[in-house]
Amino acid sequence: MLHNVLITGGSGYLGGTLLARMGAANLPPYGKLYASARTTAQADSLRQYGAQPLSFNLKDEAEIWASVVENKITVVYYLVDAISYGPPLFFIKALAEVKKRTGQTVHFLHTTGAKLFSSHAGAPTDRPLLDTDPRLYDIQKSQRSKLSLLQEAVNSSCAVTEQAEQHDVRSYIFVPCIVYGKSEGFGEPIATLRQIYKIVQAAKALKRVYRVDPDHPTWPVCHVVDNASLYIELLRKILIDGNPSHGKNGYYLASSGSIAWDDLYSAAGSALAKRGVVSSGEVEMADDQIMEEMGAALGAPKEFVPLQLGGRCTFTARRAGEELGWKPIYQPQHILETVDAEVGWILRHLEG
Ligand SMILES: NC(=O)c1ccc[n+]([C@@H]2O[C@H](COP(=O)([O-])OP(=O)(O)OC[C@H]3O[C@@H](n4cnc5c(N)ncnc54)[C@H](OP(=O)(O)O)[C@@H]3O)[C@@H](O)[C@H]2O)c1
């Protein structure tokens, strides 16, 4: 029997590009493609990808159950929320029921984020942390974050792995990092919640670019198209043999490599100075008062500013290349080459 696939978050930055790229991906045959929609306009847009829109309230287990079980969905890609545990568990339970009724393997992909594998979340950062490390699940279990929201996200990610294993559902922890580039989807083309956007937002308010870490940390990066191609390669493997590495070995970081935050700030500083948004492209270290003002500009408490604009993450992608043959098109330095254009789009967006 062919797999029926559900993509959630298709109106978003990552999900939009995934859906836009699926048609030309020459995927093995699958049954029906479903995509979640919250409005009729979204439902209409989703149909252009051959996807049948489904509407459900993520907080309502019965609605998720009905959508998944009645449509015999066997693959769920969850691209909505990296923090809450409720909806992923509802999907896992519904998938288990489909397996019981059809005998097919069932698959749940949970999208988290590189922050869960960073200094902010108490992950080890004194060495490369490989996504193929067989102890990764145990490392995640032992992590402690000072930020309760991040601890909740780490706990949820571990719980997805545990619950899926318990329900005989194959689970994948998909990890986007600093993602850049314009979305190819029908929704907002720029990721307004993401790091470059926030650098620009803060700099516009403070008339200067500030760094938030006293040392010079690095962070993994990925073009949005490469991020989408990893979602697709994983789906290809699921459709071919249903057996990509999963569960406690199912971590997939989508990244071509890392860059230094300082280089990103400098590139953004130059792009902003060129446009007269900051008087100088030089980057200064933020003190406590500046951190407060950056928080006000970003609409976040001061403690959340380093989480949004810095930190150390040594998480390193191995699995997708080794096991799926995933080859990103863009090297990490590419982000620095595109910051200028990216800053231009963001300023136009901010100026509305
Ligand atoms: N982009 C990145 O750089 C990045 C990096 C790391 C991790 N992530 C994680 O990856 C996931 C997707 O990111 P993204 O950048 O694509 O986010 P996004 O652009 O904000 O899109 C989020 C998607 O989820 C949908 N959604 C949100 N709340 C929902 C709800 N209650 N019920 C149903 N649908 C809901 C949105 O639908 P509407 O359009 O109707 O609002 C949209 O389709 C998120 O969990 C994010 O934290 C992203």
Q: With bands split at pLDDT 50, 70 and 90, how would you rate the model's confidence at 309? A: very high
Average pLDDT rounded to a whole number, residues 208-236: 97
Domain spans of the chain? Answer: 5-183+220-256, 195-219+258-313+330-351
Torsion of CA 150, 152, 157, 158, to 10 degrees: 120
3-state per-residue secondary structure call for the chain: CCCCEEECCCCCHHHHHHHHHHHHHCCCCCCCEEEECCCHHHHHHHHCCCCEEECCCCCCHHHHHHHHHHCCCCEEEECCCCCCCHHHHHHHHHHHHHHHHHCCCCEEEEECCHHHHCHHHCCCCCCCEECCCCCHHHHHHHCCCCCHHHHHHHHHHHHHHHHHHHCCCEEEEEECCEEECCCCCCCCCCCCCCHHHHHHHHHHHHCCEEECCCCCCEEEEEEHHHHHHHHHHHHHHHHHHCCCCCHHHCEEECCCEEEEHHHHHHHHHHHHHHCCCCCCCCEEECCHHHHHHHHHHHCCCHHHHHHHHCCCCCEECCHHHHHHCCCCCCCCCHHHHHHHHHHHHHHHHHHC
The reported pLDDT for the residue numbered 190 is 80
Distance from Cα 102 to the centre of ligand 1, integer Å: 31
Is the shortest distance between the CB of 86 and ligand 1 below 6 Å?
A: no
Q: Residue 25 half-sphere exposure, CB side, CA atoms within 13 Å?
A: 26
Is the shortest distance between the CB of 79 and ligand 1 below 6 Å?
A: yes
The yes/no answer on whether domain 5-183+220-256 falls in CATH 3.40.50.720 is yes
pLDDT for 351 beyond 90: no
Is the shortest distance between the CB of 113 and ligand 1 below 6 Å?
A: yes
Is the shortest distance between the CB of 179 and ligand 1 below 6 Å?
A: yes
Closest residue by Cα to atom 26, ligand 1, is: 80
Pocket test for ligand 1, best of 13, 152, 252, 315 (most atoms within 8 A of CB): 13
Closest residue by Cα to atom 28, ligand 1, is: 80
Is the shortest distance between the CB of 261 and ligand 1 below 6 Å?
A: no
Distance from Cα 322 to the centre of ligand 1, integer Å: 28
Q: What tokens appear for 150 in the block?
A: 């991040």
Is the shortest distance between the CB of 56 and ligand 1 below 6 Å?
A: no
Is the shortest distance between the CB of 58 and ligand 1 below 6 Å?
A: yes
pLDDT for 24 beyond 80: yes
Average pLDDT rounded to a whole number, residues 273-290: 96
Q: Do you know the residue count of the chain?
A: 352
pLDDT for 92 beyond 90: yes
Percent of the chain at pLDDT above 90? 97
